[in-house]
Structure 1
């Protein structure tokens, strides 16, 4: 049950293009992180120009206004799965949306089963409901 935040610059993509971007990310979550079906938690945020500052960390990347920042909060994925998700996102987003891989930034963070409530003020994992 990864929680995925997708940050983009506003007015660069249509609603349909944003949905395609989100769908491509979800496909990677299902295939690479083995997320269960219907386990989709995504937040897409559009920022005014100049509100995403993404330099190249000295790697020589040229970022454009099409930059996409994907933050994935998850539990239990190992280093190999994380590396695979980085590759798969770059490939899938290029294929389906035309995103230049230099415009993709991905951050994966971990938490535990105790850190989730899916509604009703309940800790479904801890209560054995999930």
Structure 2
């Protein structure tokens, strides 16, 4: 059920954008045990100046080409799993694209399951939760 937003520089070639998308999704499948067919992403390309990233923060040196990844998902995963996800996404993006691992900035947003609809105006997980015994 993760919903992913990926923001890239406008000059990012289509194959690199697809590689970032794939690296994020494959990392979610491997680390967070997300079903392989649970893929919801918005990929945006941003004009110069639209992606702002400080050159140095918390000991990380950022280049002039950064990718922002925001993952909205249900709460409940451990800090260790989150750390493993961040590491894997950064590593796989760096391995499959020209982005450096240091330039992969990730933001995880946890939201309750009843806040999701996957179509037809149905709160799919809220309906599911009402059928579970208390």
How does the TM-score come out when normalised to structure 2? 0.88
User: Helix, strand or coil: the match of 1:29?
Assistant: helix
Query: How far has the Cα of 1:85 moved from its partner?
Result: 0.6
Aligned to 1:4: 4
Structure number with higher helix proportion: 2
The aligned length equals 127
Could you tell me which runs of 5 or more consecutive residues in structure 2 were left unpaired when the two chains were aligned. Answer: 130-134
The separation in 2 between residues aligned to 1:24 and 1:3, in whole angstroms, is 14
User: Helix, strand or coil: the match of 1:126?
Assistant: helix
- 5 Å matches for 1:36-55? 36-55=35-54
CA RMSD in angstroms, aligned pairs only? 1.5
Moved over 3 A (4+): none
Could you tell me which runs of 5 or more consecutive residues in structure 1 were left unpaired when the two chains were aligned. Answer: none
Query: How far has the Cα of 1:111 moved from its partner?
Result: 0.4
Aligned to 1:100: 100
The separation in 2 between residues aligned to 1:118 and 1:104, in whole angstroms, is 28
The separation in 1 between residues aligned to 2:71 and 2:60, in whole angstroms, is 25
Query: How far has the Cα of 1:70 moved from its partner?
Result: 0.5
Q: Is the deviation greater in 55-64 or in 27-36?
A: 55-64
How does the TM-score come out when normalised to structure 1? 0.91
Q: Is the deviation greater in 96-105 or in 109-118?
A: 96-105
